[in-house]
Amino acid sequence: MDAAASDSVFVIDHPVIQTKLTELRDVTADHRKFRTLLDEIAGLMVYEVTRDWPTRPQPVRTPLEQTTGRVLARQVTLVPILRAGLGMSDGVLRMLPEARLGHLGVYRDEKTLEPVSYYQKLPPDIAQTEVLLIDPMLATGGSGSAAISFLKKAGVTNMRFVCLVAAPEGIAALHAQHPEVPIYCAAIDRQLNERGYILPGLGDAGDRIFGT
């Protein structure tokens, strides 16, 4: 894993993830293939994203003797940003099956590129948990920043933003508002185009996942 633009931006450059990301970017990948790849990459990213989470000792009896293992110290909450974040949920949940789920509905206004929040539902005790905020794309950073602001209002202090492709503009904007929130991604792409799409990117993630 590369610590990239700053100490709190991590690029997970694992060869298996990079291979799948390249297949995902391919314009000829249909929604079935796109969904499968996104799900697989999200699951693989969990290993690096959670690498330094705290653990606590837990007694366990093996078939041979009593010993002490280690388990995650805190409960986990997964928060996909709707819609496209849903495409990563199952992959992450396979690795963290005890996690609870919150949902934040945010879309980008196509003209202004400003985030529009339309739905929020979080577990009541989310503030005491480790939170993974997931969305495949960090473009202008508006949607991610709005989601983080909402999580902070709910008392969340331990959170990580996990995306696939990040634009330099989005990283800068998100960290201007929320410098303490680490960003994990599989790639930092070149730039945004005039319509706020990431170049080279992978297109509109939501449309490619859902076939819309």
Which residues of the shown chain bind ligand URA in the complex (CB under 6 A)? 84, 137, 139, 196-198, 201, 204-206
Cα distances (Å, whole numbers) of residue 161 to 60, 80, 119: 33, 10, 19
Active-site entry in 26, 112, 157, 190: 112
Q: How far apart are CA 197 and CA 30, in angstroms?
A: 19
Q: How far is the CB of 110 from ligand PRP (least distance, A)?
A: 8
Given the residues 108, 129, 160, 189, select the one marked as catalytic. 108
Instruction: Report the residue number, 74 or 83, with the smaller CB distance to ligand PRP.
Output: 83
Chain residues in the site for ligand PRP (CB under 6 A): 81-84, 106-108, 113, 115, 135-144, 170, 196, 204-206
Q: Rank residues 102 and 206 by Cβ distance to ligand URA and give the closer one.
A: 206
Instruction: For helices 168-177 and 142-153, give the axis angle rounded to 10 degrees.
Output: 20
How large is the greatest C-alpha to C-alpha distance in the chain, in angstroms?
A: 65
Amino acid at 131: V
Give me the DSSP letters along 109-154.
-TTT--EEEEEEE--TTGGGSEEEEE-SEESSSHHHHHHHHHHHHT
With CB under 5 to 8 Å by kind, the binding choice for 81 among ligand PRP, ligand URA, none is: ligand PRP
**Residue nearest to ligand PRP as judged by C-beta position:** 206
As annotated, the active-site residues are 108, 112, 204, 207
